[in-house]
Structure 1
Amino acid sequence: MPLATVNPATGETLRTFDALDAEEVERRLAAAEAAFRTHRTTSFAERARLLRAAADLLEADEREIAEVMTTEMGKPVTQARAEAAKCVKAMRWYADHAEGLLADEEPAEADVKDSGASRAFVRYRPLGPVLAVMPWNFPLWQVIRFAAPALMAGNVGLLKHASNVPQTALYLEELFRRAGYPEGCFQTLLIGSKEVEGVLRDPRVVAATLTGSEPAGRSVAAVAGDEIKKTVLELGGSDPFVVMPSADLDRAAEVAVTARVQNNGQSCIAAKRFIVHTDVYDAFAQRFTAAMKALKVGDPMDEETQVGPVASERGRADLEELVEDAVEHGATVLCGGERPDGPGWYYPPTVLADITPGMRVHHEETFGPVATLYRAADLDEAVAIANDSPFGLSSNVWTREEADVDRFVRDLEAGAVYVNGMTASHPAFPFGGIKRSGYGRELSGHGIREFCNITAVWQGA
């Protein structure tokens, strides 16, 4: 895939970029190694000062970088501005909390004595240069949620961003440079996917994090496993959104629409499978479908637009294939389902009902504004449908019954359970999944420790 900005609203190629040659990649790897030797010794106060400076710059650049993101991958510009603001919040959160999250931990006094030590503690030390392979759907946020904790821990970053967001990738490198980070602390590698293996196998790169597709995750994990290097993977998701009889149906339907079409439906943690108790199925389906039909689809630069184009022509074709397969196998289209005329890679908000396990859409992720509706006879069937997926990223449950909540928290196979609300990432809470949604965690104290050397220190008398 060429390194290019192609406007999804028009299909027009706006800018192209040359990939780095082997000599420049080598120079950047050497710079990362050299930067780590110094950055790892800096104080938390100095790291926090630099990260806050970067946050201030990003806050000032919010409108400008939002337009770049919208141009490159098509998200509504209002959502792009919100993404930039979220990054600022996370950067400041880690600047404020990293030192406490990575403070030395002391075992119980009795255990220290039993070990024969006069003193013992655990220290979190940085690992080194970490390769981040990042996707296009949240081109700022996905990177910052890695970079902020990694830099605060004393690591340095190498970013291989998606090929269709090169301007955002270059902006991120420049942001950290402008903030005062020394050369090599955070660098963008404008390279193709075929060059990732060589970078990951380089002994100066100590670990990798990837957010993206399952095939990409398998590839990176295989190489890292061969090299015995740590990885964190956040892959696909097909999150269930379960509605029980006691739910506030009006609120549940309202949130369900946002949960499905946020970021033009291109979010790993977007709700995709709507599993509704039979007692309230018809009422929910009517509310949900009407609201999906009413969404304003259009130019993502328009402040009133709620759904813009999907990011690529291939992405739209994938959606069409899933919908067509479902219809051929008996699914009912409640709204949408047909490609509109005109330029750009638009696809309408679509609701499919009567889903069966024989349809591809039942087990595959729909990365766009397509929702599937399921009718569940009771709580047991709702749990069974929710777990009948190769993915396990997050989940949403709507109920006012505490017994329901306890059961879902116990039995849902997911990295998170959101009750009476929409799944969202926040710097204070761990983020990640199980099954084919990946492993490891980002954000919170769990995330910052993923790329640390958890060092046991034992000291005799």
Structure 2
Amino acid sequence: MKLKSVNPFTGEVNAEFDTLSDEACRQAVLRSREAFKKWRKLSVSDRVKPVAKLASILRQKKREYGRITTVEMGKPIRDAMGEVEKCALLCDYYHQNAEKFLAGEAIDTGAAKSYVAFEPLGVIFGIMPWNFPFWQVARWAVPTLAAGNVCLLKHASNVPITAIEIEKIFREAGFPEHVFQTLLIDSKGAERLIDQDVVDGVSLTGSVAAGSKVAELAGKNLKKVVLELGGSDPFMVLEDADLDRAALAAVRSRMANAGQSCIAAKRLIVKESVSEAFREKFVDVLNGIKIGDPMDEATDLGPVARQEFLETLDKQLEDALKKGARVYRGPEPPNQGYFFQPVILTGLTEEMRVWKEEVFGPIATLITVRSEEEMIRIANETEFGLGAAIWTRDIRAGERLAGEIDAGFVAINGMVKSDPRLPFGGVKKSGFGRELSHFGLKEFVNIKTVVING
């Protein structure tokens, strides 16, 4: 089988790669296990030295790496370079804090000495998505390596150039050979790895279906797993909200990365008294964005990553319109490339697909509610629980409302966005476990208790 990289703007094939044979994959795993024996023995301060170099390389070459992202999955170059810069910030954070976070914790038990140590698990297998192809890998790999583990990466099949380049970056930064390896394998190859006694933990960012399969295999083989899955985030606008700020944030959140983000504002839930005014402001902002060539630094909205995604979006939109939804359209897209015209839908009902499903593209949905109770019910009426946003001038009311929402992250008067300093993850079918902050650093460690009785 071949992995094909296709430019979503031109439709041209960037490159094709053969997948690894089972034997080549087995040898890569053996190399990882050998590398782990030495890597785990280094002090945390020694393990994070190459993390500082990694940050420097990312900053120096962010245009080069941003361009790879743009030609492989269509992200506008300005945003792609911003993603690389964010990876550098993450490296700064763990370079500065990993040693402190992984220090042993003394606990008074009455024994001569009692403490907790944080030790690495071993070979951690990361299955990463295409929508943030540098960031998703960095936020998994950097803390995992700092904790003393080694990493095997199976990246999304449509970004193989990125996957290969990322391994080169880790080597250039000074990480020892085989501490970080990219495996060009398909989903079946990934399943075989998890189903064998060769990796010690799995981190997946992807669909609910993929997460369910990984959890099944990991559970059968008693492997630690972290899952960051889908989202259908509510963006709640109360009567006293600053509608101008809220509309601007809603468009940015929903349309960023062509709507291909798990934490996008997918459901705009607005109090009836301000719903029409908010919708008008949203449409005005929407029609002010630039859609076009993702290599143009002025472009706000590029193509979706793959042609088949257009078919899914078309069917979701068609279903809503057939069942009575009203559509307000944004700027016209170019004639070439995998573009989907951005829209906002109103007049939604519960039998529509866009009400029940995650919409992974530039389709915003606006739901009008009459009461706060109805707002909370609809916000939680989803199988997902990743993020949520609340807009109100009454901060105390916003905090109270945040306590009612089933989500791993709530932003008040802002967008949901990941930050190296804050834990990131969800509840319900959005997954379990956390990435980032000191919580993410300790996902793949053995929390070892040591008691000395004299």
Q: TM-score range by the shorter chain?
A: over 0.9
Task: State the alpha-carbon separation in 2 of the partners of residues 191 and 356 from structure 1.
Answer: 41
Is 1:411 aligned with 2:404? yes
User: Could you give the per-residue CA deviations for residues 392-420 of structure 1, whole angstroms, max 9, x where no partner exists?
Assistant: 00000001113421332211010011000
Determine the structure 1 residue equivalent to 2:8: 8
Determine the structure 2 residue equivalent to 1:219: 213
The alpha-carbon deviation at position 26 of structure 1 amounts to 1.4
Give the conservation status (yes or no) of the 8 Å contact 2:76–2:299.
Answer: yes
User: Could you give the per-residue CA deviations for residues 306-360 of structure 1, whole angstroms, max 9, x where no partner exists?
Assistant: 10000001111111111111111111112259x9672211001110011111011
Aligned residue type for 1:349: P
Give the conservation status (yes or no) of the 8 Å contact 1:298–1:307.
Answer: yes
What secondary structure does 1:417 align onto?
Answer: strand
The alpha-carbon deviation at position 257 of structure 1 amounts to 0.6
Is 1:389 aligned with 2:382? yes
Aligned residue type for 1:439: F
Question: What TM-score does the superposition give when structure 2 sets the normalisation length?
Answer: 0.98
Task: State the alpha-carbon separation in 1 of the partners of residues 94 and 356 from structure 2.
Answer: 36
Task: State the alpha-carbon separation in 1 of the partners of residues 395 and 168 from structure 2.
Answer: 49
The alpha-carbon deviation at position 44 of structure 1 amounts to 1.4
Determine the structure 2 residue equivalent to 1:165: 159
Determine the structure 2 residue equivalent to 1:380: 373
- Among 254, 259, 271, the residue aligned to 1:265: 259
Determine the structure 2 residue equivalent to 1:253: 247
Question: What TM-score does the superposition give when structure 1 sets the normalisation length?
Answer: 0.96
User: Could you give the per-residue CA deviations for residues 29-49 of structure 1, whole angstroms, max 9, x where no partner exists?
Assistant: 011000111100111121111
What secondary structure does 2:439 align onto?
Answer: helix
Give the conservation status (yes or no) of the 8 Å contact 2:292–2:334.
Answer: no
Give the conservation status (yes or no) of the 8 Å contact 1:73–1:137.
Answer: yes
Determine the structure 2 residue equivalent to 1:102: 102
Determine the structure 2 residue equivalent to 1:278: 272
What secondary structure does 2:117 align onto?
Answer: strand
Gaps of 5+ in 2: none
Task: State the alpha-carbon separation in 2 of the partners of residues 386 and 397 from structure 1.
Answer: 11
Task: State the alpha-carbon separation in 2 of the partners of residues 129 and 224 from structure 1.
Answer: 14
Task: State the alpha-carbon separation in 2 of the partners of residues 438 and 44 from structure 1.
Answer: 29
Give the conservation status (yes or no) of the 8 Å contact 2:77–2:294.
Answer: yes
Q: How high is the sequence identity, in percent, across the aligned residues?
A: 46
Task: State the alpha-carbon separation in 1 of the partners of residues 172 and 408 from structure 2.
Answer: 36
Gaps of 5+ in 1: none
Determine the structure 1 residue equivalent to 2:340: 347
Task: State the alpha-carbon separation in 1 of the partners of residues 195 and 118 from structure 2.
Answer: 25
Task: State the alpha-carbon separation in 2 of the partners of residues 332 and 451 from structure 1.
Answer: 47
Give the conservation status (yes or no) of the 8 Å contact 2:291–2:333.
Answer: no
Structure 1 stretches of at least 4 aligned residues deviating more than 4 Å after TM superposition: none
Is 1:143 aligned with 2:137? yes
Determine the structure 2 residue equivalent to 1:51: 51
- Among 295, 314, 326, the residue aligned to 1:332: 326
Determine the structure 2 residue equivalent to 1:241: 235
RMSD: 1.3
Give the conservation status (yes or no) of the 8 Å contact 1:52–1:92.
Answer: yes
Task: State the alpha-carbon separation in 2 of the partners of residues 178 and 268 from structure 1.
Answer: 31
What secondary structure does 1:184 align onto?
Answer: coil
What secondary structure does 2:145 align onto?
Answer: helix
Determine the structure 1 residue equivalent to 2:306: 312
What secondary structure does 1:177 align onto?
Answer: helix
Task: State the alpha-carbon separation in 1 of the partners of residues 114 and 281 from structure 2.
Answer: 60
